Amino acid sequence: MTRRPPRIVVIAAGVLVFLALSFELARWLTLENVERTDIIDLITAEVHGDAPSMLGQLHGCERTCREHVRTAARTLRRRGAVLILADSSATAYTLTGAVGFTRIAWKVSGGLPVVQCVTVSRTGNVISGLDVRLLRVSLPIPPTSDC
């Protein structure tokens, strides 16, 4: 004769599994906000002409990258708050690590739109956790161009 576990144990186990899955899903979904916030911070520093801050946000930025950052900070300096018009991320909702471009269109009030590509690296996985790093930012590209 086999003995079945009490009903309360089965229900408690189901609730624990549900909570664990919900936690992992929430952590995975908030990663999109982390990437977007990091990019907005980068663009805001660019608009303020703050190349050192931009370089501090970019990981592994070598000589050519640093030159692009300084040029972008100098030429894209504007007055006003950054307004994001559109973004499209190649790494969005990945379950594992990936490297790809995020195409971002932005402007400041009264100004013309600017389109740039930001190279984004995601490392890790959905179980152990993903990490977002910004690697590069391009100079402005034509508004209809892809990254």
- pLDDT tens for residues 117-142? 999 998 887 677 778 899 999 999 99
Which is it for the CA torsion 136, 141, 143, 146, positive or negative? negative
Mean pLDDT along residues 70-84: 91
pLDDT value for 56: 94
Mean pLDDT along residues 65-79: 92
CB 86 within 8 A of CB 104: yes
**Which pair of structure tokens corresponds to residue 41?**
């911070």
Tens-digit pLDDT profile for residues 10-60: 888 899 998 888 887 777 777 788 889 999 999 999 999 999 999 999 999
Mean pLDDT along residues 102-114: 92
DSSP-derived secondary structure for 1-33 = -PPPPPHHHHHHHHHHHHHHHHHHHHHHHHHHH
User: Model pTM?
Assistant: 0.80
pLDDT surpassing 80 at residue 74: yes
- Distance between CA atoms of 10 and 25, rounded to whole angstroms? 23
CATH class of the 7-137 domain in this structure: alpha beta
pLDDT surpassing 80 at residue 93: no
**What is the maximum alpha-carbon separation in the chain?**
80
Which is it for the CA torsion 46, 51, 56, 62, positive or negative? positive
